[in-house]
Structure 1
């Protein structure tokens, strides 16, 4: 069953199985912008031993843990079922069936008239221990794209390639590089992560670590042929990592079969275990800089993780040079002078709030 939430100029579809924000449509400058990716197979084509979420791979979903898990790759939030609960405030609210390390997990998706953004948050109520987390937005890039980011300290690949025997990975693993335009490839050349695609038939994963001085974390993906722009916004003090999944025909087995192309995962999170070199260091370089490498659950409180995605027309096709938030106005500028001023709930991301500060359990007006 699909749940729909709409406001003036924006509409989203939500699927409780896997908690998927399946489709996001924004009406802007007289056109419909719908940048999210959907896998080209049916559920019947997915092998029974594959992670359940592959049967409905689309849009954006939440991963906890953002790694292998007994509940399937990316954990119960990505592979289980969410129960939508009644709401009177215009927010789509759902509760995960089952616990994550003892925590109840609540998802909220909210829209606002004339805002080209989805305001989403995930609440961990109770629970114990630490775990890596990430949102898992996927942008459709059938005609390529241009990527820009808020300032990063470095870029780093996994400990091992995603594919070795049943497909192909093109980056070097594990490696680090300060410049996204010069990331090492397995063949000794360098790859420019500001462009997609940068290779033929490959499956790769690389993460950028935010500069601690960043106030607003952002990723911008320009689709020049489509004339639009995808934006991902976060509090870098909460989610200091931007992880890029390049899925472009590099897997030869079912259900992928070499046909999963033009998909860019823009996965914002706190997931130190995904760093092939940094995760082995003591202290790790995130902790040493005061950045969270994972979420710390609070047995007597909540952890509140917020993320914003959206899209607008961007007919110039210019690479995004900057994204700046001033009050409730987000200004996006291109490298040749293009500019959009967009309405945004400026305080919603809590940019000055610490990530792991315990909060009391909320008084809930709906039944878990």
Structure 2
């Protein structure tokens, strides 16, 4: 059974680990001064479980999704939605589920790549993680090489820790918030589907209103929201660590942020009611459904069709993760 290789970057302001599976980044420790630190990226509680398929073998932290999203449409979509088949079986794309190769590593940077199957429109992905030598910050870039011109739903997938002491979602300036068109986890999710919401502090649910700005929530659930026209940075506050964590990206390319609230609601293996995390996923996609569902033309997110990649013209997406003491 194939083990998972991992590489480490250390610098004056922290330490970061990157693994071959999915090119995933985590754990990361940012040293924020006065002997204090914060480790914001999530590592799934089951650790390495090589019996599991794809990305579930060692789910953690942050990784790119090319193409982004599910490979089967959920049951119960509104009747004005159209469905279609995904072009492969890899949730969040081939690169999220397979091993990347190390291209090079120095004191401040490491680079990875992964080749896609010949039948894919994507030829390969290249990914670099670079430390900022004078700050608790990481610069990450992804270069997409396409075999053929293609428009794909695309997202980054940073998943942040929800410690016992909690995390506050300060979020971003935004236009609106939209709930998933169905319950993300049938019988478990609480947010009313297919709604437009103005604030994370007052989200309509089957049991009144939810304040999603402080996690963990008091009730178990699994939720997915899309924050449209999210203006980075997206900010999370870790009060026990006295730290703010910032996620920055190019909003012209990735106009929205999906917010995945995993609050112990999945009871099947390997989740087992023990998974608490919050995903903040900069995206150009209709939720995670861009590969399998088409909303009606009058849906506010109907134009979130993805990013264009052209053959012979590599496209690079960059983003930054950092922390600061309160």
TM-score by structure 2 length?
0.84
Aligned twin of 1:236:
251
Q: CA 1:72/1:199 → structure 2, altered by over 3 Å: closer, same or farther?
A: farther
**CA contact under 8 A between 1:80 and 1:97: conserved in structure 2?**
no
Aligned length: 299
Q: Secondary structure of 1:19's partner?
A: coil
1:12 aligns with 2:16: yes
Distance (whole Å) between structure 1 residues aligned to residue 296 and residue 17 of structure 2: 42
Distance (whole Å) between structure 2 residues aligned to residue 287 and residue 161 of structure 1: 19
The alpha carbon displacement at 1:275 in A equals 7.2
Match of 1:147 among 148, 156, 169: 169
1:222 aligns with 2:201: no
Aligned twin of 1:28:
32
The alpha carbon displacement at 1:34 in A equals 1.2
The alpha carbon displacement at 1:122 in A equals 0.8
Structure 1 runs of 4+ aligned residues shifted over 6 Å read: none
Distance (whole Å) between structure 2 residues aligned to residue 204 and residue 162 of structure 1: 6
Structure 2 unaligned spans of 5+ = 72-87
Q: Secondary structure of 2:237's partner?
A: strand
Q: CA 1:258/1:286 → structure 2, altered by over 3 Å: closer, same or farther?
A: closer
1:75 aligns with 2:75: no
Deviations 1:173-207 (A, max 9, x none): 122212232222133x2222322233411111111
Match of 1:306 among 302, 306, 318: 318
Q: Secondary structure of 1:66's partner?
A: coil
Aligned twin of 2:154:
133
1:164 aligns with 2:176: no
Aligned twin of 2:74:
none
1:184-203 paired onto structure 2 within 5 Å: 184-187=204-207, 189-203=208-222
Structure number with the bigger relative contact order (C-alpha 8 A, sep ≥ 6) is 2
**CA contact under 8 A between 1:150 and 1:210: conserved in structure 2?**
no
Q: CA 1:287/1:175 → structure 2, altered by over 3 Å: closer, same or farther?
A: closer
Match of 1:110 among 130, 134, 141: 130
Distance (whole Å) between structure 1 residues aligned to residue 197 and residue 244 of structure 2: 26
Match of 1:264 among 275, 278, 286: 278
Q: Secondary structure of 1:272's partner?
A: coil
**CA contact under 8 A between 2:261 and 2:279: conserved in structure 1?**
yes
Q: Secondary structure of 1:171's partner?
A: coil
TM-score by structure 1 length?
0.75
**CA contact under 8 A between 1:170 and 1:199: conserved in structure 2?**
no
**CA contact under 8 A between 1:45 and 1:254: conserved in structure 2?**
no
Aligned twin of 1:250:
265
The alpha carbon displacement at 1:88 in A equals 6.1
Q: CA 1:256/1:80 → structure 2, altered by over 3 Å: closer, same or farther?
A: same
Distance (whole Å) between structure 1 residues aligned to residue 11 and residue 298 of structure 2: 46
Distance (whole Å) between structure 1 residues aligned to residue 19 and residue 67 of structure 2: 20
